[in-house]
A and B are shown apart, each in its own frame.
Chain A
Amino acid sequence: MSDEEETQPTDEQKIEIAKWFLLNAPAGEIQYIAKDMKAVLQDETLYITAAAEAFPLYNKSHMICLDFPDRSGEVMVTPFSEIGENEYLDPRTAQVAIVDHVNQVCRRARPANDEELPTPYIEEYRYALDIEVTKYVSEAYPKGICSVHCVNGKDVEEPGMDFELVVVISAARLSPQNFCNGSWRSIWNVEFKDEAQLVEVRGTLQVGAHYFEEGNVQLDAKHECKDSTMFTVILEMLYLSPEDSAHSVTTIIRHHETEYLNSLQTSYSKLPDATFKDLRRKLPVTRTLFPWHNTSQFSLRKDIQKNLGLEKKK
């Protein structure tokens, strides 16, 4: 075939391929993919370039959680906590972690300086929400982690201006010895709109699972609650203290996440008898196995089938 005479891919193309494989790794599997990719590429330099570009994107997208070197706490690597190249803020301990993406560790930590932190006014809201969300996550997720950041308006000092907080929740279950890994990620944007005296809540939920014992099966489910009126909930902020608004927001999050889990379960329960049927039935309509031995009846059946087929398709 003429393809064999094609030239080898260029270095740039090889890097793109390696990046693609790394970025598409299921939760918790990037290091395994990294190892295999190195073997396939057989070129350390190219791999290092690809890894340097792919790992940060992967880590932020999967919202990995890293311990501080002195075990004083943990930091979540997300687009919302990123304050500089390889620097991620943990608002709880007011520390900034310097992260080695490719090895997925926190190399060192430094205290955050004032410009990097929100104002005391904002911090009141952030802190209250953090407390409520942490409580919720510890109840709902056996191994969940969460974090709250201010993504807009962190310098607001008093009522009268808008600001926005983001809640990130991440839970991963890695069981490579059982050939099964899974992850749950939710991102909730909480916008405090002063003029309208409203708090608007929008969420994105993403769930994945991978089972690969003698096979390769993956679930990829995503739900965005952006413009749908069901998920945009308006709260009157008038007279609500940071604690009260935190409580209400968390209740909304809890409600919607639970509902989403229920709808996932419903989708699964419809699989065997409904959804899957559109691909392949368990048995023919006759409810018996196919009569392979009765070849003679087939010429007759074929005509009937053809007629039936024509009728059915219309």
Chain B
Amino acid sequence: MEAAMGLMRRIPPKHSEAALSALLSLLPHHSADLLSQVDQPLQVLCDVDSGKEFILCEYNRDADSYRSPWSNKYHPPLDDGLYPSQELRKLEMEANDVFTVYCDQYYEGGTSSVYIWENEDEGFIGCFLIKKDGSRTADGRRGYLEEGSWEAIHVIEVVPLDEATARYCLTSSVMLSLTTNDESSGAFSLSGSIRRQMNMDLPVDEGHLCNMGRMVEEMESKLRYSLDQVYFGKTKEMICTLRPPSELVQTSLPEQINKRRS
């Protein structure tokens, strides 16, 4: 299993879906572990009632069907599927509405889904998902990206500590890839995935949604910064180490050659 995780860390992130499938076929007895520790690209379905998209994951799946957060129905329909309690469903609906606005503000498009279900005792688990296609043919507002995708999965375990506070344990993973392509510089492709955790004990006077939302927002900002500055930064540093940019570079071709070019 350790070897399998080692492979996932080295394979180019854009191939991670293929790599995971290959590993699942080779190690079927480890499939539960693999699926929980390796993130797969997110798929979406369209809700039959509202026409809105919702994201598929292990947390809204029962057998081969997926529950939509908009209509609370399973797609394809399921006779005895699992549903959250009425109270949690109420929280789930509110969370989805608010999260849609959050998603729009930060992602200018994209699809979001929130799933909430019971945990032991009085606790519950919330899963916040975002899928953004930033390519210029999709939701890329500025048209920079030939191909681009950001997918985030945030799973928060909420455990009430006492009347006034609760513990929130957040595990987040982000998978992203971007490709630019133009005449002068060719194809430039960056892709990556990272996972982080954050635990906080917070007062519940403003409600769970507020606390969870803030944690997700903080985590996403940290991850975005980290990917951009640290991770991409390191790859850039590596290139400059391979071939240091020289200031004395001759930026124009010598005369003899220039004359020949028409």
Binding site for B on A (CB under 8 A): 1, 4, 8-9, 13-14, 17, 20-21, 24-26, 29, 32-33, 35-41, 140-144, 171-173, 180-184, 205, 207, 209-212, 214-224, 228, 230, 233-236, 248, 251-252, 254-255, 257-268, 270-272, 274-286, 289-290, 292-293, 295, 298, 301-302, 305, 309, 312
Within 8 A of A (CB), among B1-15: 2-4, 6-13, 15
Check if B184 is an interface residue, CB within 8 A of chain A.
yes
Task: Judge whether A295 and B3 touch: CB under 8 Å.
Answer: no
Can you pick out 8 interface pairs between chain A and chain B where the beta carbons lie within 8 Å of each other? A142-B242, A215-B192, A217-B194, A274-B142, A278-B141, A278-B148, A279-B145, A285-B105
| The 8 A-B residue pairs with the shortest CB-CB distance in the complex, in nearest-first order | A223-B186, A217-B192, A39-B3, A215-B194, A263-B185, A182-B238, A284-B105, A209-B235
In the complex, the answer to whether B224 meets A33 with C-beta atoms within 8 Å is no
> A222 — which chain B residues lie within 8 A by C-beta?
186-187
Q: Which of B2, B176, B239, B251 has the most CB of A within 10 A?
A: B239
Please, which residues of chain A bring their CB within 8 A of the CB of B209? 292, 295
Q: Could you say which residues of chain A place their CB within 8 Å of the CB of B107?
A: 279-281
Contacts of B190 in A (CB 8 A): 217-220, 271
Q: For B142, what are the chain A residues with a Cβ–Cβ distance below 8 Å? A: 274, 277-278
Interface residues of A: mostly helix, strand, loop or mixed?
Answer: mixed
CA distance A184 to B224 in the complex (A): 27
User: Interface 1/0s, chain B 20-58, versus A by CB < 8 A?
Assistant: 001101111001000000000000000000000000000
Q: Which residues of B contact A144 (CB under 8 A)?
A: 243
Question: Which B residues are in CB contact (< 8 Å) with A221?
Answer: 186-189
Nearest Cβ distance between residue B244 and chain A, in whole angstroms? 7
Check B132 for interface membership: any CB of A closer than 8 A. Answer: yes
Which chain B residues lie closer than 8 Å to A37 at the CB level? 3, 7
**A182 surroundings in chain B (CB, below 8 A):** 235, 238-239, 241-242
Contact surface of B with A, Cβ cutoff 8 Å = 2-4, 6-13, 15, 18-19, 22-23, 25-28, 31, 63-64, 94, 97-98, 100-102, 104-108, 132, 134, 136, 139-145, 148-150, 176, 178, 180, 183-195, 206-207, 209-210, 213-214, 217, 220-221, 224, 227-229, 231-232, 234-236, 238-246, 249-251, 253-254, 256-257, 260-261
Whether B26 contacts A9 by the Cβ 8 Å rule is yes
A236 near B235 with CB under 8 A, answer: no
Is B232 touching A1 in the complex (CB atoms < 8 A)? Answer: no
A184 to B134, CA, bound (A): 28
Bound complex: CA A235 to CA B102 (Å): 58
Q: What separation, in Å, do the CA atoms of A207 and B6 have in the docked complex?
A: 23
Is B221 touching A292 in the complex (CB atoms < 8 A)? no
Whether the pair B22, A275 counts as a contact (CB closer than 8 A) is: no
Q: Cβ of B245 and Cβ of A35 under 8 Å apart?
A: no
Question: From residue B201, how far is it (CB to closest CB) to chain A in Å?
Answer: 18
Using A223-B186, A230-B184, A236-B260 as known contacts, list a sample of 15 further A-B pairs with CB atoms less than 8 Å apart, ordered by residue number in A: A32-B6, A141-B242, A183-B242, A205-B186, A216-B13, A218-B13, A218-B192, A219-B235, A220-B191, A270-B144, A278-B144, A279-B178, A280-B106, A286-B105, A298-B101
Chain B residues lying within 8 Å of A267, measured Cβ to Cβ, are 180, 185, 188
- A269 nearest CB neighbor, chain B only: B236
Whether B236 contacts A268 by the Cβ 8 Å rule is yes
Contact A293 B206 (CB under 8 A): yes
Are A275 and B210 touching (Cβ within 8 A)?
no
Q: What's the least CB distance linking B18 to chain A, in Å?
A: 8
**Residue from the list A233, A254, A280, A293 in contact with B257, Cβ < 8 A:** A233
With a CB–CB cut-off of 8 A, which chain B residues contact A278?
134, 136, 139-145, 148, 178
Least distance between A128 CB and chain B CB atoms (Å): 17
Contact check, A20 vs B192: say whether CB atoms are below 8 A apart.
no
| Cβ–Cβ < 8 Å partners of B188 in chain A | 219, 221, 264, 267
Whether B249 pairs with A258 at a CB distance below 8 angstroms is yes
Known pairs A215-B231, A261-B239, A282-B224; A21 contacts B7 (CB<8 A): yes
- Chain A residues near B94: list those with CB within 8 A: 295
Inside 8 A of B23's CB, which chain A residues have their CB? Answer: 40
Residues of A within 8 A of B245 (CB): 258, 261-262, 265
Residues B22 and A280 in contact, CB atoms below 8 Å apart? no
Establish whether residues B132 and A274, one from each chain, have CB atoms under 8 Å apart when the complex forms: no
* Min distance, Cβ A116 to any Cβ of chain B, angstroms: 32
B243 with A140: CB separation less than 8 A: yes
B132 and A280 within 8 A (CB)? yes
Q: In the complex, are the beta carbons of A292 and B7 less than 8 A apart?
A: no
Tell me if B243 and A171 are in contact (CB < 8 A). Answer: yes
Contacts of B11 in A (CB 8 A): 21, 24, 216
Chain A residues closer than 8 Å to B207, beta-carbon distance: 295
Flag if A26 contacts B10 (CB, 8 Å).
Answer: yes
Contact A4 B244 (CB under 8 A): no
- In Å, the complex CA distance between A255 and B250 comes to 7
Chain B residue at minimal CB-CB distance from A204: B186
Bound complex: CA A183 to CA B13 (Å): 17
Say how far A302's CB is from chain B's closest CB, in angstroms: 7
Asked whether, in the complex, the Cβ of A309 is within 8 Å of the Cβ of B12, the reply is: no
Closest chain A residue to B176 by CB distance? Answer: A279
Complex Cα distance, B104 from A312, in Å, reads 11
Determine the chain B residues whose CB is within 8 A of the CB of A279 once the complex forms.
107, 132, 134, 145, 148-150, 176, 178
Measured between beta carbons, the chain A residues less than 8 angstroms from B184 are: 230, 263
